[in-house]
Structure 1
Amino acid sequence: MTDSSRPYHKPTKLPGFRFDDLHGADDPAKTSRVAHETAAALLERVRRHPDPEIVSRLVSYTDDNGIDAIAELWSRAAAHSLPGALWRIYLLRLAIREDPHATSLQFQRGTEVLQSIDPVVAGAETPTGPSEIIDLADRILRGVFEGDFAVALERAAAFCRVSAAGCTSLADDADPTEPERASLLTRRALRFSEFAAELTAAARLWRSDSLE
């Protein structure tokens, strides 16, 4: 994934709160050809021969290289497209790893207030602490390359729905005394809900051979 002849470039590290405002994809009607070609070629090649070492390198790619290279390729692709779906999975993993304490708290609260099967679909161990939430992020992304792609998208969507519920509940708690924090959590809940809807739609399109 890296070229040793290129000068070292320090990875771009995005603080966890940037997830709330980061609209990597503007969802234009037309996305670049390179986004679709690279996403399709990468997924087809790795899924055809899922070498564990290569999968591990892809899962941890942003840890060593930052998010900027992936963003350049896929962040402007439409939400309901293959590169758009991959971008959202990587962005979710980055947000989780940047602040595992906050994301695990949000997810754990969501499991307590949400009356649905989403916590089971997401597949996190319970109780869900920072190490469990990081492990979940890695397992979801690994499933993109070596499992059922639609299932990986659905697990990510379920994670987002649980986290959205958790953020909303925490925002209600904070509102009387910490209105700014409540506002941040409400905005984060909205972003999680948007991602959940987009990833669910992408999974549906994949199952019908319509995700391009």
Structure 2
Amino acid sequence: MSSEQPRPHHRPMQMTSAFFDDVEGGVDPALVTEAADRAAQLLVRGARESDDEAVAERLLHLADTEGIEAVAEVWAGSPADSLAGCLWRLYLLRAWVHAEPMRAAGEFEEGRTRAPVARVVAGVAEPPGPEELKAMVDEVLRGIASGDFADVLFRGAAFARVVAAGRAGRADSVHDDVRRMLAVAEQLEAAGHAELAGRLA
């Protein structure tokens, strides 16, 4: 048996704007933006160029590990037509499905007949129960590291479009919630076309 004692766990330093508070002169927005862009470039471009088969799994679980929320915070201010902005929207979709799987499944089910083409693109198993939806969004995020990023964006957009259609058809729907989800769908779809054209950075 090893005589080594287990090392204590420390939370990693988080890369939010607060990380830069101690820098003389206060927070440098340009530095925060650069950190967000570099992290996004590494996750999308770096991961896809790696031969490490575990990259996809590690990327998937980044959303659940300490510190990813901090990175996501700096992505939040990124334009929708940037890698960082795309990752923010994809992680928001995954976080929502995992936090409210029953609601997500209900809204997706409601929207299936209203947006049948998008339903096929999203690739959700039938029937689309909570676990099936969670598996779908996880599979989409695996594609960031192992697949075609444009396809990832189109699948995320299709999923958001079906959910938006489902929300619009519910009696208790809130207009702003429908509008926001539809905006995510449109932004991800536009980013997918930009990626195909080599303009997404």
Fold match (TM-score > 0.5): yes
Report the more deviating stretch, 44-53 or 54-63.
44-53
Contact 1:150–1:203 under 8 Å retained in 2: yes
Query: How far apart, in 2, do the equivalents of 1:5 and 1:55 lie?
Result: 27
Match of 1:201 in 2: 190
Contact 1:70–1:87 under 8 Å retained in 2: no
Letter in 1 for 2:179: L
Match of 1:18 in 2: none
Runs of 4+ in 1 over 6 A off after TM superposition: none
User: 1:107: how far off?
Assistant: 0.5
Match of 2:157 in 1: 157
Query: How far apart, in 2, do the equivalents of 1:36 and 1:67 lie?
Result: 14
What is the root-mean-square deviation of aligned Cα atoms in Å?
Answer: 2.2
Give yes or no for the alignment of 1:192 onto 2:181.
yes
Give the structure-2-normalised TM-score.
0.81
Contact 1:118–1:161 under 8 Å retained in 2: yes
User: 1:143: how far off?
Assistant: 0.9
Give yes or no for the alignment of 1:86 onto 2:87.
yes
Query: How far apart, in 2, do the equivalents of 1:66 and 1:32 lie?
Result: 17
Query: How far apart, in 1, do the equivalents of 2:8 and 2:153 lie?
Result: 35
Deviations 1:75-121 (A, max 9, x none): 1111111110011111110011001000011001100233x411000
Letter in 2 for 1:54: V
Query: How far apart, in 2, do the equivalents of 1:66 and 1:104 lie?
Result: 28
Query: How far apart, in 1, do the equivalents of 2:89 and 2:164 lie?
Result: 15
Contact 2:44–2:145 under 8 Å retained in 1: yes
Letter in 2 for 1:124: V
Match of 2:60 in 1: 59
Contact 1:50–1:146 under 8 Å retained in 2: no
Query: How far apart, in 1, do the equivalents of 2:51 and 2:185 lie?
Result: 27
Identity percentage over the alignment?
34
Report the more deviating stretch, 54-63 or 65-74.
65-74
- Matched position secondary structure for 2:198: coil
For 1:107-186, list aligned pairs within 5 A: 107-114=108-115, 116-170=116-170, 173-174=171-172, 182-183=173-174, 186=175
Task: Give the structure with higher Rg (CA).
Answer: 2
Counting matched residue pairs gives 178
Query: How far apart, in 1, do the equivalents of 2:100 and 2:52 lie?
Result: 29
- Matched position secondary structure for 1:113: coil
